[in-house]
Amino acid sequence: MSAAGPVVRMRDVSKVFTSVDGDRFTAVESLDLEVGSGDIVAIVGKTGCGKSTTFNLLLGLEEATTGSIELLGHDPYREFDWFRSKLGVIFQTDRLLPWRTALENARVGLEILDFSEKEQNDIALQWLHKLELQGFEDAYPHELSGGMRQRVGMARAFCLSPEIFFADEAFGHLDQSTARRLREVFLELVTESRKTCLLITHNIHEALEIGSRLVILGRPGRVLADMETPTNATRAEMAEFEDRVLDIIENNEVVG
């Protein structure tokens, strides 16, 4: 962790949604989380436990009901504009613009940031190639497979050289082997960039493959456990670890 403090800091954060009838629903409760510079953290938890809500809070798309959130020392909700290009997001679905080619989709953030047209194309092409999309630069999203579209979405995020990467169920809708390969590519590029990464998933396998640290969320969103992912573990040890994670999720009680 750098002397400047953690890259992500959530303190006693809660998020309560109020319906039009005035019913209150707690999606996140007393959530504490710190992530240091360069950490790759997987956040795992059951569907509906508040993972995406946590992400929306971190991205400044929702305001916390109580508690404080700081990213790079700034409040993502109140200082939304400060974060321009500092956060790279990879969504569950690719969210590409259907009328734009792969290249035009990849460079969209650079256009908004007023990079010259040459820079936009140079940077976008570089990332499309790193993501193994040579030959598909001028293809439209409907001409690409799901995995390839997700790669274009990743290129779009990497183009901005963000400080923090966020991925929310980014591999969830792909077939297992495509998802696995894409996770490898993603992890390689994030590690190479030495940037901080938070990856959200309901898939424990995925969490263990990507994260060096595993944060288990319970329902409503709060940290049940925060642990190092075993390295160089045998298959049996890994299976045991996975069982333990499943138990913690099932029990929905804070460990420690």
Q: Which residues bind ligand ADP (CB under 6 A)?
A: 17, 25, 27, 45, 47-53
Quote the CA–CA distance of 173 and 183 in Å, as a whole number: 13
SS3 167: strand
Q: Which of 47, 52, 62 is nearest to 16 (CA)?
A: 62
* Minimum separation from the CB atom of position 150 to Mg ion (A): 16
DSSP element (H, E) containing 66: strand 66-71
Parallel, antiparallel or unpaired: strands 164-168 and 24-35: unpaired
Question: Which CB, 53 or 120, lies closer to ligand ADP?
Answer: 53
Indicate the SS3 state at residue 201.
strand
27 binds, among Mg ion, ligand ADP, none (CB under 5 to 8 A by kind): ligand ADP
In the complex with ligand ADP, the residue whose CB is nearer, 52 or 150, is 52
153 binds, among ligand ADP, Mg ion, none (CB under 5 to 8 A by kind): none
Measured CA to CA, the distance from residue 186 to residue 183 in angstroms comes to 5
CA distance 44 to 160: 26
25 binds, among Mg ion, ligand ADP, none (CB under 5 to 8 A by kind): ligand ADP
Minimum CB–partner distance for residue 33 and ligand ADP (Å): 14
Minimum Å gap between C-beta 16 and Mg ion is: 18
* Residue 72, binding choice from Mg ion, ligand ADP, none, Cβ under 5 to 8 Å by partner class: none
Give the count of beta carbons closer than 10 Å to the beta carbon of residue 16. 14
Of the candidate spans 25-33, 51-59, 220-228, 233-241, the one that interacts with Mg ion by CB under 5 A turns out to be: 51-59
Count the neighbouring beta carbons within 10 Å of the beta carbon of residue 45.
25
Closest approach of Cβ 169 to Mg ion, in Å?
A: 6
Sequence-distant (≥ 6) Cβ neighbours of residue 215 within 8 angstroms = 33, 41, 42, 43, 44, 223, 225, 226
CB of 253 to ligand ADP, least distance (A): 18
Instruction: Say if CB 54 and CB 31 are below 8 A apart.
Output: yes
Applying CB under 5 A, the site for Mg ion has a residue count of: 2
Q: Which residue has the tokens 């938070």?
A: 198
Which one of ligand ADP, Mg ion, none interacts with residue 53, CB within 5 to 8 A by kind?
A: ligand ADP
Task: Please tell me whether residue 201 binds Mg ion under the rule CB under 5 A.
Answer: no
Closest distance of CB 62 from Mg ion, Å: 13
* Helix/strand/coil for 154: helix
Q: Which member of 14, 52, 196, 201 binds Mg ion (CB under 5 A)?
A: 52
Residues engaged in binding Mg ion (CB under 5 A): 51-52
